[in-house]
Structure 1
Amino acid sequence: MNLDFQWYQYALIVLVFIWSGFVRAGFGFGGALFTIPFLLLIHNDPLFFLPIISIHLLFFAGLTLFLSHWAAAVTVAVAETGEKQSESPQEAINWRFVRYALLIMLIPKLAGVVGLLILPSNLMNSIIFLLIAAYSITYIIGKPLQSNSRLLDTVFLILGAYISGTSLIGGPLVIAVAMRHIQAHEFRNTLYVLWFVLVGIKLFAFNLAGVDLQLMASLWLLPFAGIGHMIGQKFHQRLLQHSNARFYQILGWVLLSTSLIGLLQIVV
């Protein structure tokens, strides 16, 4: 990393990126949502951390999709030999939803990236903390955002794309729409394809704007995110079979507390 951090800051950043890998692999979203508030408490510059999170997302999303495709090919080969197959459904990609979402999200995504580049750092941090606080309350009360119409689909996808462009935390709004259109076994891989395209656009825009992509920091932190990713993969299999409402509630309280501390630091 090219900043003069203290040793304990490096240690905290490592822990947060292990957590980032776990969340991304376990849920299929939240690699930024559940880590940005902690990272901004360590160093309050979103433009330093967002390129790193983006590069990690591209790497692990691509890896997961490749391995999923390989596993599906193996399953087909096993089926052709007549051997017994697993009763659990194979994870798939709902390409129809990917096309539908991208058509709505591309323009507001670019507008969000422009907003991130021109807005003052403290204002951007305040917006991020306020949004995360709002999301956390939905997890605490067990009432995550939901869409029940085409109109709400469009509104949520536009807002999610803009917020994703500014801070990569538009996931809950997109998921509110995805829950209406895709099945559980399609959920993670479909979202990974969507994030891959949107984050690729964001990194391209960063590069055009001359933002430091923090390639060395991304490489240095990749193994730690990989540790979290491997743990998250195991958790994801459990998540497909069980309800984890209590886990989300605890996570909501942690996020709300972190957001309030972040806002207090900005105000003070």
Structure 2
Amino acid sequence: MWAGFVRTGLGFGGAALGLPLMLLIGASPVYWLPVVGIHLLFFSSLTLLKSIKKVDWVYLRQSLIWIIPPTLIGVFGLIALPDKVMIIFVYSITIFYAVIWVSNQKITSHQPWVDKILLVLGGYVAGTSLTGAPLIVAVYMRYVAKEYLRNTLFVLWFILVGIKMSTFVAFGVVIDWQLSLLLIPTATIGHLIGLKLHDKIIQNDRLFKRWVGAVLLLISSFGLLKIIL
């Protein structure tokens, strides 16, 4: 429900902000990411059916050149690296985002070369754990009009998750389809609430992220200590 709410409320971050909670329940990123991926494909499709015309296709194509190659590298790293390493990675990157949001800072770029670095890093992190959204969004906000931003990001997430899911299937990763489908009604509740509150959240972006950052910092710190100790 939380992941669905964040995904539509902010336009990004369903995995980045939801995965730390899922990992506290147990299992590994390789188990949870297909579940998150199926939901993202499903809900993104529903949203884009109504607003496919509000997508900045020009910048999307330009940015994919920098995003897709590191995404592929990240996906193979996710499959190859030990679960413990990946869990530490997820909690560490989440703590990084949380500290930035709690301190009212922003990941920003003012130079084209910095944009490319953020897109490459965001693509790699998205490939490993689907938590690269804040890095990519920092660049997209510079080039995509506000009214096109969320839908353009949804298309991007759809492409990246499609790559990830195809790789999972190709490498024989076990996907819990039953759990994914059973959780769709619950995620739908969060999805609908996010759609209704999207404008208010965007208007109070800093306050929302500050509260979310504080909770994520607590959860991720606990999870990191749990896996290390």
TM-score interval w.r.t. the shorter chain? over 0.9
- State which of 261, 265, 268 in structure 1 corresponds to 2:222: 261
Q: What's the CA shift for 1:118?
A: 0.7
Q: Name the residue aligned to 2:10.
A: 27
Structure 1's consecutive aligned runs of 4 or more residues displaced over 2 angstroms after TM superposition are 237-240
The structure 2 residue matched to 1:202, chosen from 127, 148, 164, is 164
Q: Distance in 2 between matches of 1:128 and 1:248?
A: 18
Which of 32, 35, 39 is equivalent to 1:52? 35
- Report how far residue 185 of structure 1 moved: 0.8
- 1:97 aligns with 59
1:122 paired residue among 81, 84, 91: 84
SS in 2 for 1:211: coil
- Residue 65 in structure 1 maps to residue 71 in structure 2: no
Which residue among 107, 117, 132 is the counterpart of 1:170?
Answer: 132
Q: Deviations over 1:72-106 (max 9, x none)?
A: 7xxxxxxxxxxxxxxxxxxx211112101111111
The residue type paired with residue 25 of structure 1 is T
Aligned to 1:35, what secondary structure does the other structure show?
A: helix
Overall identity of the aligned pairs, in %? 42
Q: What aligned pairs does 1:110-259 form with structure 2 within 5 A after superposition?
A: 110-240=72-202, 242-259=203-220
Post-superposition offset of 1:111 = 0.3
Structure 1 residue 40 and structure 2 residue 23: aligned? yes
Task: State the AA in 1 paired with 2:221.
Answer: L
Q: Which residue identity lines up with residue 224 of structure 2 in the other structure? A: L
Aligned residue in 2 for 1:6: none
Letter in 1 for 2:36: I
- TM-score norm. by structure 1 comes to 0.83
**Number of paired residues?**
229
Distance 1:116 1:131 in 2: 15
Q: Is the 8 A contact 1:140 1:250 kept in 2?
A: yes
Q: 2: CA distance between counterparts of 1:158 and 1:209?
A: 24
Q: Distance in 1 between the 2:201 and 2:95 partners?
A: 24
TM-score with structure 2 setting the length:
0.97
Residue identity matched to 2:43:
F
Larger radius of gyration: 1
2:90–2:129 CA contact under 8 A, matched in 1: yes
Which residue of structure 2 aligns with residue 75 of structure 1? none
User: 3-state SS of the aligned residue for 2:124?
Assistant: helix
- Give the Cα separation in 2 of the matches to 1:172 and 1:122: 23
**Which letter does structure 1 place at the counterpart of 2:200?**
R
Q: Distance in 1 between matches of 2:115 and 2:199?
A: 28
RMSD: 1.1
**What does the per-residue CA deviation read over 1:206-227, in whole Å, with 9 as the maximum and x for residues that have no partner?**
0001011221111111111111
Q: Please, which runs of 5 or more residues in structure 2 have no aligned partner?
A: none
1:169 is matched by which residue type in structure 2?
Answer: T
Contact 1:44 1:125 in 2 (8 A): no
CA distance in 2, matches of 1:44, 1:246: 32
Deviation at 1:44, TM superposition (A): 3.6
Distance, in Å, in 2 between the alignment partners of 1:24 and 1:46 is 18
Give the unaligned 5+ runs of structure 1.
1-17, 73-91
